[in-house]
Structure 1
Amino acid sequence: MGEAARLTRSIPRRWSGGPDVPFGPLVPGRFLDRPTRFLARVEVDGREILAHLPNAGRLRELLVPGGEVLLAPRAGPRRTAFDLVLCRIPPGERGPEGGEWACVDARLPPRVLAAALARDAVPGLEGGRVVRAEPPLGEGRADLLVGGPGWEAVVEAKSITLVRAGAGLFPDSPTLRGARHAEELARLRGRRRVVAFVVQRPDARAVRANEPADPAFAAALRRAERGGVEVVAGRCAVGPEGVAWASPLPFERFRPDASPPPLPDHVRPGLRLLVCGMNPGRYSAWYGMFFARPGNLFWPAMRAAGLVPPASGPGEEAWLCRERGIGFTDVVKRPTGGVEEVGEEEWRAGAARLRALVRRLRPRAVCLVGLRGARAVLGPSARPGPQAEPLEGVPCFALPATSGRQAAYGRREVFAWFRALARWLEGVAPG
């Protein structure tokens, strides 16, 4: 049996209704790599082909080498004969058991939204129908002009494929276009103005602006909301038959008194480097990302030291763990408003948990970020730099805290310590 035929048999048939956007026949394949932003290399029946990838996002949480994808054949004079439209959600992304599908075609949300409007399935826009596509907006165009009883609305639809901590996040990487659209909607007068987030995978329970990845977009959206721009959101049913608007979702904003669950680890055996923070702040845990708050020096210092690729940042922990051998955990897993809220017993229990984790995973090196956590694990004499004693037999390095709230070192000193970490790591765990 060929690979395509085998994969076709494995496609689950869970569709409960007709899709808003049907796909037609799809061709199964395996994702290999992404040579350019809009091209994917895919294996189909043992043969490598290039497929158009209609999405400018990073998609690192979905485009996993060897992962299952579905391709839509496309006719006409073009470089590729297929569009890559569906990816199987990897187990490490905490997708539903059995591996649901995510749609990566960022062109579809306006069509999905138009069909949902025709069913009056979008709260706040009941009675609205599409008047025209691509109405003028500033120096460009929006997605839809919608007319309802006594009102018209200019609607910009945004595709979401990234889910963290149960929430769909937009964008998955910085987008000047997204911020510009929010600003242009805010300036528009005489019509309702709407940003519609469409989650093209089934495992989100809410939608959030991805401030850790793109603070400028999040700020532009907040300003737009204050200026009267409305935000709606919904989750799609996704399958080989097509995509359909399934249900509305709440749009959430971070609150300092939030009580998020613990931040999941991103670890595996044999890591090159296990990064261990002190404990997650509520903001990071709420977003499901390590060192997530804008202003935290961790990611800028990691990039400057060459420890991660130039564009890496919060939200890419799973990719770094899988592709670069850099894992993430904390001494204490409970999210707090500040490290001062962590009690001595929690530090002792967290240190024991970390030691057990190191014994089990056997990373080649460990880095403790924040001296309060380092001293809980290594003893009160721990200082920044390489440690004299290994941690459970593994070479260990301590760094000063990178959070602005805990900073005892200036930016220049912190960056210098990260460069020292990079030199030390190349010596103890060459990569």
Structure 2
Amino acid sequence: MDAATETPAAVDAPQVSFPTPNATSTILYTTCLKGLGFIKVNWASYGRSNRDTCSSGRPPSQLSNTKCHQQKSLRIMSDRCNGMSSCAVPVENSVFYDPCPGTYKYLDLSYTCHSVKRSVTCENNQNAISCAKGSLFIHHANYGRRDRLTCPHKLAKTSHCYHSQTDNLRGRCNGKKSCQLHASNAVFSDPCHGVNKYLEVTYSCTQSSLIVLCHNGIEGKRYAECEGETGHLSCGWGFIKVISASYGRSNRDTCSSGRPPSQLSNTQCHQHQSLRIMSDRCNGMSSCAVPVTNSVFSDPCVGTYKYLDISYTCHPAKRSVTCEHNQNVISCDTGSLFIHHANYGRRDLLTCPHEHATTPNCYHSQTDYLRGRCNRKTSCQLNASNTVFSDPCRGVNKYLEVTYSCTPSSRPDHLYRRPHTAVDQDR
């Protein structure tokens, strides 16, 4: 059993309903009105970044900690809401966990409504998504269960089974005309034993080309590099943002010269961690070089000759580097901060020279964390310290690198905050 729906083009105006708090929690509703597409959570922070928001009637002791941020806020909200036309999330510690006991918290959230198609494939069924024109781009995918009405079944006994497959399906489907989907534990593993699941995918059809110029002037590039070579990403201006990456093989033609058919026949080969690996190594840099080898990506399909299929954009942004045990401030003369990428570790041996700069392969993304602390402020204090970010590579001297930009300070209508309730403070 499967289904697909398509929404028209014109989006980005979500409507919000604020219910009266009940005895246990406040429920936050995110909604895209009918015809405006599906939710894409851009940013989320459960905690407190100032003393004023949701402060009425609260003692100073519950408002003083303004560096409170649950680092998994974006993932939690994305798991629950991305790809849906509406969703409801209790703003409480039982959902987000408590990042700072004793502090009265709120959820700060921004999202947009995207005009896309949606496909649902019930467990143990197959489906295909395709484009009459252009090629596929996957926005969101989840294998699990987020409501009890979709794919009705006697074992549909929870609506909280989240198992993101976005990166996996981007690697398998992006850039193709059509893509076969098989909703099975054998393909995606079983995220919730004993629960009947389904695969939901939101996607759109894009015009594919190797080099494009986006509507806002951001340069986008896509290319393939064969196994054994080195992939070079570079921006003549700005900094790299990896959009999609797949190390494996999705067709018989790419990087096929001189190879026997036995090394080209597996076209379902994809290393699921490709996007994370390339993002860790390249995001926020003006150029980077990555060996296209099993030693970097590990081997997703032994005996198959592979290649790296990657797309990335070049973003105009500022860059800040703070050496370990030092402090720094990023600020905007006009507008407010937006963090594009942040890493605490070491990605080269020349930045912040030190006798313990012994590896360029120390990756510890702090993007979500610094977005929670710095986004929409005019300035933000940075402290490059293990006590703040933990130690991702012991014995190595590290630095905090941040790429950011200054955006107009006006607050969009779809950005809002809701508090948790007094009941939550005692949990």
Question: TM-score band (shorter)?
Answer: under 0.3
TM-score, reference length from structure 1? 0.23
Structure with more contact order per residue of length (Cα contacts < 8 Å, sep ≥ 6): 2
Larger fraction in strand: 2
Larger fraction in helix: 1
